[in-house]
A = this chain, B = another copy of it.
Amino acid sequence: MVFMHDTSRERPANGASGWDAAREGAELYRIVAELYPICRSITGNGLRESLRLLQQHAPLSLHEVPSGTQVFDWVVPKEWNIRDAYIKDAKGGKVVDFRKSNLHVVNYSIPVRKTVALSELRPHLFTLPGSPDWIPYRTSYYKETWGFCLSHRQLESLADAEYEVCIESTLEPGHLTYGELRIQGATDAEVLISSHCCHPSLCNDNLSGMAVAARLAQHLSGRSLRYSYRFVWIPGTIGSITWLALNEARLPKIKHGLVLSCVGDPGRFTYKRSRRGNAEIDRAVEHVLKHSGREFQLLDFTPHGYDERQYCSPGINLPVGCFMRTPNGGYPQYHTSADDLSLVKPSSMAESLQQILQIITALEENESYVNLNPKCEPQLGRRGLYHPVGGTKNAGAEEAMLWVLNLSDGGHSLLDIATRSGLPFAVLSAAADQLENAGLLARAGGAR
């Protein structure tokens, strides 16, 4: 893990940077495990409690937006809270119990308490016949109804009898809560990191993203940074719409952004490009993944997925991509009770965080330089930058210097040079430092 330091620009050697993957993974996993039991939704106390818990890991602040607030085409909904829910059979035994899994209740179910025949109950029950041991995750935010989710085996074991149904929920005017954290850098230009935090007991989607964002904020805190960083932990869809509506004036400051989601499973990395398709963030992520030595896939933007849908709507159109491992819908456990603590791995989350840190390094260090000696090559040997004896091997650093010199005509950033040359960004960035120190290179925009 490599960072830019404004003053010294010293660069820790690989492996010497203090990156402890095992420790980082354990920390990330601990956060996920803490958050796992809480019943979250797009509003309510579970969401609030989760964000407060995250405050132990990163100094985010909580924001409360009243129900009924108009946010673009939407209205902040009533606040939903739930105390208990169950289905009891004739003998009083709980055949479905919210306390065993908060997925058992259709999220945003209105209160209900009655005794009904199975035939009447049946339309309110959701199962996964193809995965008969798993409980599905269902929501009904904008249509007032109620329902239960259960494993298909549970359903099959239900006798054709009467059942007592109870959902002790409230749906009342309240607030939508979101978390926000801003780290000031040398400039007000911002990098946005967004993760949704509305899912109940689901680990990969998206406790992993919430935890990685929190740790990322910790790693960036106190660093000397070029960009300012804005983190938001928001309920999916309505949360990003709310944040965008309330912060519209700030949007021009956002230069790059990532939605983090599903970053805890052991699958290959997935990056979904921003709507712009070739934004600097898109090229930075592509570069880092290509040099990661790991499997990855790049997807073009589509208007379905996570909150990049809102960040990349045509009237907003921010350069925000989505960083994932296995994407939503791409793994069988997606939106089921099997997206649990066994699906996410400490090492996978640590690796995700490491890649994101390298992406941020590329953004931080991506400068355009001007070759101050553009007519023919400068004599590097005289400056101690080149091997003295022709024919000896001394490849990487010199090759990087030649590339930087050749393409530093004001029209190519370091990331462009990395793409064109095939060399890793860090090697080119180090070469640029050496050449700048030797007086052969200047930042295109002048010194900072």
Contacts and interface: CB of A to CB of B under 8 A. Distances in A.
Interface of A: 72-74, 106-107, 126, 136-143, 145, 147, 237, 240-241, 244-245, 248, 275, 302-304, 309-310, 312-316, 335, 371, 373-379, 381-382, 388-392, 399, 402-403, 405-409, 421
Contact of A390 (B141, B275, B314, B421): B141
Given A143-B381, A376-B72, A138 B389 contact: yes
A313 B244 contact: no
A388 B145 CA distance: 10
B142 A73 contact: no
Nearest to A139: B390
A120 to B, nearest CB: 18
A438 to B, nearest CB: 11
B141 A378 contact: no
Contacts of A142: 379, 381-382, 388
A113 to B, nearest CB: 21
A245 to B, nearest CB: 7
Given A74-B379, A244-B375, A313-B374, 7 more contacts: A136-B391, A139-B391, A248-B375, A303-B399, A303-B402, A309-B406, A314-B408
20 contacts: A73-B379, A136-B391, A137-B391, A138-B390, A138-B392, A139-B390, A142-B379, A142-B381, A142-B388, A143-B389, A145-B388, A145-B389, A303-B403, A303-B406, A310-B376, A313-B377, A313-B405, A314-B405, A315-B371, A316-B376
A140 B140 CA distance: 77
A389 B172 CA distance: 20
A99 to B, nearest CB: 22
A389 B106 contact: yes
Contacts of A241: 376-377
Contacts of A72: 373, 375-376
B138 A313 contact: no
Contacts of A310: 376-377
Contacts of A244: 375-376
Given A314-B406, A314-B407, A140 B390 contact: yes
Contacts of A107: 390
Given A315-B371, A376-B72, A376-B316, A143 B409 contact: no
Nearest to A248: B375
Contacts of A375: 72, 244-245, 248, 313, 315-316
Contacts of A136: 391
A314 B403 contact: no
A142 B386 CA distance: 11
Closest 8 CB pairs of A and B: A315-B374, A143-B388, A139-B390, A315-B375, A303-B402, A303-B406, A314-B409, A73-B378
A304 B399 contact: yes
A388 B140 contact: yes
